[in-house]
Structure formats: C-alpha cells, structure tokens
Amino acid sequence: MGHGGNVIQELTTDHREVDTLFAEFEKLPAGDQQRREVVDRLTIELVRHSVAEEEHLYPAVRRYVDDGDDMADKEIEEHGEIERLLKELEGCSPDDSRFDTLMARLKSSVTAHMKDEEEQLFPLLVEASSAALLAELGENVRRAKETAPTRPHPSVPSTPPANKLIAPGLGMVDRVRDMLTGRG
C-alpha cells in the first residue's frame, strides 16, 4: 500500500510504516548504534503523522462523528503521551539502560493507539463522511506532513488554530536541524 488516496488509506499506510520501523528496531541487538537511527526515523514519522492528524483528522471527527469531541480528545491525549516518550528517547543513546524500556513503552502506546483508530475511529468517520470529504482530508494530511515538525515538541498546542500556525515554523526549524546533524 502506497501513499495517496483518502485520509483512511493515507493514515493506514503510515501505520504500516511505523510497524515496519518497530520490527526493524527489534531485529537489531541491544546497544547497537543503528537503533538510534531507526528511532530517529520512527520519531520523524510519528511526529509528522500526529501533527497531520491533529490538524485535519481530529477536527473532522469532532464535526462529523457522534461523540467526536470525546474521541478526538482521547486520541490527542494519547499523542501527548507518545510525544513525551519520544522526547525522553531523544536524550537517550542505545546503550542507556532506559532506552529499551522507553521503546517498549512507546511501542505499546503506539500500537494500541493505531489499533483503536483503525478499528473504531476510522470506521465511524467513513460512515459519517462523504467520499469527497475523505479524499480532501487525505490531501490535507499529505500536505501537512510535508511541513510538519520532525522532532517532539510536547509543550506545543495540539488543537486548532494554534497548532496550524505553529507547526510549519517548527517543521522548518526541525528540518534545518536534521540537515545540519544528518538526522533522518
């Protein structure tokens, strides 16, 4: 499955890419420095994905899905937990005793979050939305990921309108940092 299509297809593709990165991480031996590279790529993908969901998916869930506010709030809260774990991981090296523990917690949180979206939230959004809206949201999500930050920023607002104003600027700063450090 490649990128493109409606919002459900786009985000599900992201989920499978995250699964692949977790599997790649688990194949490497403890303490291996390549684990840092995999975690950096995983962080980039998770942050970009989360920002795009917060900017476009969750506002649509709030608007079109019954009890959408509660669902969106729960998903955003989970994003906050994931982002805090990513921030903590950012300061760890693969030989740090906390590294594997943090990765196990991250995988557990991310896997549960993706499963919840795929089994509950996505079907409800499909049921409540037109194909045209889902296609438009898919395009909006792809565009948002292009300018989204690539590093965790847990203290940044995660709801509109502030997140839509701040994310592109942080994304630009993160990409410059990534280029200068060779990250990602």
Lowest mean pLDDT among 21-30, 37-46, 80-89, 144-153: 144-153
Does residue 179 have a pLDDT over 90? no
Alpha helices in the chain (DSSP H): 7-27, 34-52, 58-64, 68-90, 99-116, 122-128, 131-147, 162-181
Q: Is the dihedral of CA 84, 178, 161, 142 positive or negative?
A: negative
Using CA atoms, how far apart are residues 11 and 117, in angstroms rounded to an integer? 10
pLDDT at 176: 47
Phi, psi of 110 (to 5 degrees): -65, -45
To which residue do tokens 């906050």 refer? 80
Give pLDDT tens digits for 32-88: 999 999 999 999 999 999 999 999 999 999 999 999 999 999 999 999 999 999 999
Domain segments of the chain: what residues?
Answer: 7-181
pLDDT at 107: 98
* Class of domain 7-181 as given by CATH: mainly alpha
pLDDT at 125: 98
